[in-house]
Amino acid sequence: MTIVAPADAAAIARAAAILREGGLVAFPTETVYGLGADATQAWAVARIYDAKDRPSFNPLIAHVADLEAARREAALPEPALRLSTAFWPGPLTIVAPLAPGGAVCDLARAGLPSVAVRVPAHPVAQALIAALGRPIAAPSANRSGHVSPVTAAHVTQDLSGKVDMILDGGRTAAGLESTIVSFCEGSPVLLRPGAIARETIEKILGEKLSAPERAEILAPGMTPSHYAPAARLRLEAHELKEGEAALDFGGRLAARAEPGTVVLDLSPSGDLIEAAANLFAHLREFDARQIADVAVAHIPERGLGEAINDRLRRASTTKLD
């Protein structure tokens, strides 16, 4: 059941409580409506991908209260700080390397060592972030492949029944998503044109924005900037070979493992949302344990299974040897 409510103080308090419990809330920003979850809870973030029917885990924007909160998540270099002073709160998203101790979960970042942060200007978005007291991960509140919603009615059309609450704040002002600038390479890169014009940003920076690498556009997920584990992954495994650890699903491989084998189960009960929430953390755990070879159990190609398999395939094919 989806609650749709005018975004008054009582509704915002209720929405914050829903987010704190791992629920999903659609809310207005000055650009488009966002589909929000507590960015620190991987399980809640997994529900975003499920609701949107996203075939892959794109990294999400962490919406934060102010510059100070942004700096707890992202290591913002000096030019990024200048942009934040000029455009925050507002429709600018900055991608930068992770700050040590950042709270945004792996899944919201799609496992990347960088994070996208934005301080929205809309009073409802501001109030919701303040009430939660944590970053809110939010993509646009539309089904994957549909256009971004600028009214609560659009959100209802796409996501009714999939989201716990929709805060109605009327029509959004910009109607165009935020401009995204990345500070992960040497010079600033315009990842997505948006509500703030390129020229306006270049004026503040005092330099031109670069275009993203061609490879990044052609094959998102295959570039080195996308997370791949050091371990070699063998997909669709039905048994374990000698020396392999297991990335299991529903206890399939565990049943055949020798005692002492490292087995990490994405979801012992076979729940794909739980599996998505655990995916990046488990892959990191293999690397932390310096495991070279991992057999991966069959994961059903339905619901979030499609995105999980997409990521696993990319992670397994980046090994060239």
The reply to whether 172 sits near ligand TXA by the rule CB under 6 A is no
Is the previous residue joined to 89 through a cis bond, with omega within 30 degrees of 0? yes
Q: How far apart are CB 70 and ligand TXA at their closest, in Å?
A: 13
Q: How far apart are CB 90 and ligand TXA at their closest, in Å?
A: 10
Binding segment for ligand TXA (CB under 6 A), chosen from 26-34, 78-86, 201-209, 303-311, is: 26-34
The reply to whether 178 sits near Mg ion by the rule CB under 5 A is no
Give backbone dihedrals phi and psi of 135, rounded to 5 degrees, phi first. Answer: -65, 145
Give backbone dihedrals phi and psi of 64, rounded to 5 degrees, phi first. Answer: -125, 165
The token pair at 273 is: 């949302």
The reply to whether 114 sits near ligand TXA by the rule CB under 6 A is yes
Measured distance CA(10)–CA(131) in Å, rounded: 11
Applying CB under 6 A, what is the total number of residues that bind ligand TXA?
Answer: 25
Measured distance CA(161)–CA(167) in Å, rounded: 14
Nearest CA-CA partner of 225 in 275, 277, 182, 181: 182
Q: How far apart are CB 152 and Mg ion at their closest, in Å?
A: 17
The reply to whether 28 sits near ligand TXA by the rule CB under 6 A is no
- Here's the x/- map for ligand TXA, 89-108, by CB under 6 A: it reads as --x-x-x-------------
Give backbone dihedrals phi and psi of 90, rounded to 5 degrees, phi first. Answer: 165, -175
Binding segment for ligand TXA (CB under 6 A), chosen from 16-24, 70-78, 128-136, 176-184, is: 176-184
The reply to whether 93 sits near Mg ion by the rule CB under 5 A is no
The reply to whether 140 sits near Mg ion by the rule CB under 5 A is yes
Amino acid (1-letter code) at residue 285 = E
Give backbone dihedrals phi and psi of 140, rounded to 5 degrees, phi first. Answer: -60, 145
Q: Given the complex with ligand TXA, which of 61 and 76 has the nearer CB atom?
A: 61
Counted residue by residue, the chain has a size of 321
Q: Which of 12, 37, 115, 247 binds ligand TXA (CB under 6 A)?
A: 115
